[in-house]
A and B are shown apart, each in its own frame.
Chain A
Amino acid sequence: MEYDNDDNSWRRPSTTQQNKCHRIPKRSTTTAVVVLGLAVLSCLLGYCVLSETLPYESKTLRLVIILFRHGARTPVSTYRSDPYRNYQWPDGYGSLTNVGKMQLYELGKKYRSYYANYVPEDYYEKNVYVQSSDKSRCMMSAYTFLAGLFPPSQRQTWHAELPWQPIPVHSLPRLLDNIVAGTKPCAKWKAMYAEQLAEKNSDPKFNEVFENLSKYTNQTVRSVIDVDYLYSTLATEQEAGLKLPEWTKNLFPHKMRLPFMLSLALLSYNESMQRLQIGPMLNEIRENMNNTFNPSSGSERLLLMYSGHDVTVVALWRALGFGELLEPEYGASLVLELHEDIEQNLFFVKAFYRNNTKTEMPMELKLPFCEDPCSYKQFYDHISNLIPDDWETECENNVQGA
């Protein structure tokens, strides 16, 4: 029944158009020519504008995977000399703010128009799978992203005044999550991380920053991870419009930025760490791509989405072979597209990155391990190198537990 409504609404505009056409011959030929010319021009213009916001390859697109960082949040921690130590943050530490909710909503809307030719208007559970870190700010970001991406179509409207519909977001509890948050305990990774951290912390080039920060914060700063926390606290305070103390001027952000970005990268610093930190997510990506690649799987999935943290984005970034340090802003998103060139019978992968939610056009990334276009085979081989056969065994968790 609800389908019929849609059909009617499709038919209606075409009949009104016909009426207009009938009127045209009654007027003088010059106006007719001008009107026609204008119509053609506006059509062309509209087409040009539209085609720019749509990816030209949308006909070859088969699967889109999006990993995004949550939106703006309140600080996760404070420091000893923090003048805002007792500041009443809305909803407490580490909460998604209203700005953050809006950022992801806007991002969802952006992807809706960007993939308008690809993602159907109706939310259909077989097309979409969303997994989030169990952290509230990530789940809430996923919800507002989906609110922007899938506003209910007429058929899916269930509440007259509420242009929103519930869409399932799956998650794993912290201690079980080796997919998005990477918080499931892994003994081998922990040891490798500790080793890397010790090595980087002893780099003399950070001595000055550590010393200065220790002096001004009135607490011991001896590790890039301490700088990481301070950096993110100062950044969030500044975003909230709070005036930072005088001492920060010489240190924040420029002198703290390198150790901060290094701290994010350390979790997935080398290939062996990437296997354990992001390998399980790569495994899911591979599985989803494989299902799209094999028509026999019957997969109808068009979109796979992950709502994670800055370190999740950095881990996937590094696993894709990018060595540069990265500072993903709120709502930064990393996209993998699987395309099929039917004529050449070739599947290929494209990667894109938006560092924040304001970017209009995503930046296309040249995958360093691959030619252009990057064939699915090459991509498959690359990520397969980073996927453990058995994560649990490779983590040597049992040895640790025994």
Chain B
Amino acid sequence: MIKLMLLALFATTSLCDETIEFAVVIYRHGDRTPVNPYPTDPWKNESLWPVNFGQLTNIGKKRHYQLGQWFRKRYSHLISKQYNPQEIYVRSTDVDRTLMSAQANLAGMYPPNGTSVWNPDLMWQPIPVHTVPEHDDNILAMKKSCPAYDKEHLKYTHSVEYLNKLHKYDELMHYLSSNTGTKIKSFADILDIYSTLYIEELNNFTLPQWTRSVYPEKMREPAGYSFKTETATPLLARLKVGPLMKIIVTSIQEVISNKTTGKSKKHKKLLIYSAHDLTIGNILNSLDMYDGKCPAFTSTILIELIHDDYTQDYYIRILYRNSTEIIEPSILNIPCCGAKCPFERFKTIYDNLISVKWDYECRQSQFVAILVMSFIVGMGLFATIYMTHKVLFMHWSKEIDPEVEQYDRFVNTHFVTLKVSMDCSFNRDQV
């Protein structure tokens, strides 16, 4: 805690010779009800809750409103007091609770004043929150279909490394399965139960007796692991978080080139992304900064571009606040670079993420799959033609049977060799 305060102090005092030129914030939505309670849950009746399952609660709205007020304070030098559409861009995943969180957050950040008061009886103003349907969103929801990712993910979840880690929790998963009435077989399944219990506890619902031996201590660590599986390998991280990091780095690049060339060209000052715990976890883990703790409601990542007024250099600073309370965030250590990382260095360190050509790379394995598929279909066609041919041939002259058999054997071996060579090329592509 003292360390944290010191860091915060450092951040504020060092502002004298440093300016924040640009910032990106990514936050999780506010408090919600459980998304999907487990079958034996005594609190699974939706009417026991103030809002339906998976919806943002009044506390969640309030917390985001407060977080918005905090952003206003932190970035008072960066963004105007009046809402200026050219300064900020807000994007949310297409889910009720994230769309609503973003709106509540902006209500706290931009209370109308002066000319922006449009209704004296309502100290609120509308600010657009853009979104993309989840199945089309590879940036924030990270749910757009990517065959290459799916293949790599399947490979990872069948790897010895992953299975060994998972097997450590066999006993726990067995215990949870028998008590919750649903099969618990992955870290994500453990997280689901963990979050449900967490929310129930938060809302003063008494947890059943069986939870005492496992919740929260024994479940905390494996629940936290679930935020690592989606970005566990460099390729997984590249395809999952690459598109967002690419946008962020491109935007930063634009700010720097506008500043250094002295162009008055307008660029955004603040990008705001409203998303989920998994988004936060995926980003932190891809940046090699994840501490294994589940991201709390309203937890926030701040990526800031800092201009050192003395040396004229540009640095990246990443901060993280993992708390439902609006406390000062802590500065994260960028691996091999530290708390204040020169932008060029930052780009090199995370090149694996930034250099992704998402559409092209995602289709790669699909391309191989299409090749294999067309090959199999082709062989199938060939086989049928051959079979009909053989039947007809046999019909006409039974005497040359041995020759037919020879032909048959030839085709079989031919087929096998072709298939083998195909498998090899398949493997090569996989690497």
Does B388 make an interface contact (CB < 8 A)?
no
Asked if residues B85 and A95 are in contact (CB atoms below 8 Å), the reply is yes
Contact A162–B52 (Cβ < 8 Å):
no
CA separation between A164 and B130, bound complex, in Å?
Answer: 20
Instruction: Please tell me which stretch of B98-106, B337-345, B355-363, B400-408 contacts chain A, meaning at least 4 of its Cβ atoms lie within 8 angstroms of it.
Output: B98-106
Q: Does B333 contact A (CB under 8 A)?
A: no
| Contact partners of B119 in chain A: CB under 8 A | 101-102, 105
Chain A interface, >50% SS class:
loop
Instruction: Give the contact stretch, choosing among A15-23, A171-179, A276-284.
Output: A171-179
**Known contacts A91-B85, A92-B85, A164-B107: does B131 contact A140 (CB below 8 Å)?**
no
- A101 neighbours in B (Cβ, 8 Å): 118-119, 125-126
Bitwise interface map of B from 118 to 130 toward A, beta carbon under 8 Å scored 1, else 0: 1101111111111
Q: Given A139-B128, A140-B127 in contact, is the A168-B84 Cβ separation under 8 Å? A: no
A101, B126: Cα distance in complex, Å: 8
Q: Does B44 contact A (CB under 8 A)?
A: no
Nearest-neighbour CB distance to chain B for A159, whole angstroms, equals: 6
Rounded to whole angstroms, the CA-CA distance of A8 and B56 in the bound complex is 26
B contacts with A, residue count (CB < 8 A): 39
> What's the least CB distance linking A299 to chain B, in Å?
15
The answer, yes or no, to whether A55 is at the interface (CB within 8 Å) is no
- Residues from chain B with a CB closer than 8 A to the CB of A172 are 132-133
Q: Indicate if A143 sits at the interface (CB-CB under 8 A).
A: yes
Segment touching A, from B57-65, B289-297, B371-379, B389-397: B57-65
Choose among A90, A144, A159, A170 the residue that contacts B131 (Cβ–Cβ < 8 A): A170
Residues of B within 8 A of A176 (CB): 132-133, 136
Partner of A162, one of B101, B115, B118, B124: B124
Which single member of A98, A126, A147, A166 contacts B61 (CB below 8 Å)? A166
- How far does the Cβ of B359 sit from chain A's closest Cβ, in whole Å? 14
A247: interface (CB < 8 Å): no
Q: Are A98 and B118 in contact (CB under 8 A)?
A: yes
Whether a CB of chain A sits under 8 angstroms from the CB of B55 is yes
Q: Are B126 and A140 in contact (CB under 8 A)?
A: yes
Please tell me if A2 contacts chain B, counting CB pairs below 8 Å. yes
Q: Is the CB of B128 within 8 A of A136?
A: yes
- The answer on a CB contact under 8 Å between B124 and A139 is no
Known: A169-B129, A176-B136. A158 touches B100 (CB 8 A): no
Instruction: List chain A residues, Cβ under 8 A from B84.
Output: 91
* B-chain residues with CB within 8 Å of residue A134 when the two chains form the complex: 130
Instruction: List chain A residues, Cβ under 8 A from B122.
Output: 105, 147, 162-164
What is the CA–CA distance of A101 and B121 in the complex, to the nearest angstrom? Answer: 13
Residue pair B85, A125 in contact (C-beta under 8 Å): no
Q: How far is the CA of A141 from the CA of B128 in the complex (A)?
A: 10
The residues of A that contact B129 with a CB separation of less than 8 Å are: 139, 169
- Closest B residue by C-beta to A161: B123
Q: In the complex, what distance in Å separates the CA atom of A20 from the CA atom of B362? A: 75
Instruction: State in angstroms the CA–CA spacing of A128 and B131 once bound together.
Output: 18
Write out, one digit per residue, whether chain A residues 82-121 have a CB within 8 A of any chain B CB (1) or not (0): 0000000011100110100110010000000000000000
In the complex, are the beta carbons of A162 and B94 less than 8 A apart?
no
**Other-chain contact of A156, B58, B123, B133 (Cβ < 8 Å):** B58
Q: Give the contacting residue for B50; candidates A2, A98, A167, A168; CB below 8 A.
A: A2
The answer to whether the Cβ of B261 comes within 8 Å of any Cβ in the partner chain is no
| Most B C-beta atoms less than 10 A away, residue of A98, A124, A134, A168 | A168
Residues of A within 8 A of B55 (CB): 125
Q: Does chain A have a CB within 8 A of B13?
A: no
Give min CB distance, B79 to chain A, whole Å: 14
Q: In the assembled complex, which residues on chain A have CB atoms less than 8 Å from the CB atom of B126?
A: 96, 101, 139-141, 143-144, 147
- Asked if B96 is an interface residue, CB under 8 A from chain A, the answer is yes
Report A-chain residues with C-beta under 8 Å of the C-beta of B104. Answer: 158, 166
**Smallest CB separation, B117 vs chain A (Å):** 8
**Which residues on the A side are within 8 Å of B52 (C-beta)?**
124-126
| Least Cβ–Cβ distance between A65 and chain B, in angstroms | 20
The residue in chain A whose Cβ has the minimal distance to the Cβ of B127 is: A140
In the assembled complex, the Cα of A167 lies from the Cα of B94 at a distance in Å of 12
- Chain A CB within 10 A, most for which of B107, B119, B136: B119
Inter-subunit contact A162/B123 (CB<8 Å):
yes
Assess whether A168 is in contact with B124, with CB atoms less than 8 Å apart. Answer: no
Interface check A272, CB cutoff 8 A: no
A193 to B: closest C-beta gap in Å: 25
Minimum CB–CB distance for B304 against chain A, Å = 26
Name the residue of chain B whose CB is nearest to the CB of A100: B118
Contact of B99 among A126, A141, A164, A169 (CB under 8 A): A169
What is the distance, in angstroms, from B134's C-beta to the closest C-beta of chain A?
11
Residues on the B chain within 8 Å of A164, using CB: 107, 122, 124
The CA of A165 and the CA of B128, in the complex, are separated in Å by 15
Q: For A96, give the chain B residue with the smallest CB separation.
A: B126
- Tell me the bound Cα distance from A125 to B56 in angstroms: 11
Cβ contact within 8 Å between A168 and B99: yes
Within 8 A of A (CB), among B104-155: 104, 107, 115-119, 121-133, 136
Determine the residue in chain B with the shortest Cβ distance to A155. B50
Set of chain B residues within 8 Å of A173, measured between Cβ atoms:
130, 132
Q: A176–B134 Cα gap in the complex (Å)? A: 13
Chain B: which residue is nearest A163 at the CB level?
B122
| Chain A residues whose C-beta falls within 8 Å of the C-beta of B86 in the assembled complex | 92
Name the contact of A166 in the complex, choosing from B107, B115, B117, B136 (C-beta under 8 A): B107
Instruction: Report how far A124 CA is from B46 CA in the complex, Å.
Output: 13
Which of B100, B101, B122, B136 has the largest number of chain A CB atoms within 10 A?
B122
The complex places the Cα of A98 from the Cα of B129 at a distance, in Å, of 18
> Mind listing 21 A-B residue pairs with CB under 8 Å?
A96-B126, A98-B116, A102-B118, A105-B122, A125-B96, A136-B85, A136-B128, A139-B129, A140-B128, A147-B126, A159-B65, A164-B107, A166-B56, A166-B61, A166-B101, A166-B104, A166-B107, A169-B99, A170-B94, A170-B131, A173-B132
Residues of A in contact with B (beta carbons under 8 Å apart):
2, 90-92, 95-96, 98, 101-102, 105, 124-126, 134, 136, 139-141, 143-144, 147, 156-159, 161-173, 176
For the complex of A and B, list the 10 residue pairs with the smallest distance between their C-beta atoms, beginning with the closest.
A143-B126, A166-B103, A158-B58, A140-B126, A98-B118, A168-B99, A166-B100, A139-B128, A101-B118, A136-B128
Inter-chain pairs besides A2-B50, A159-B62, 17 sampled, C-beta below 8 Å: A96-B126, A98-B116, A105-B119, A126-B52, A136-B85, A141-B126, A144-B118, A147-B124, A159-B65, A163-B122, A164-B124, A166-B104, A168-B100, A172-B132, A173-B132, A176-B132, A176-B133
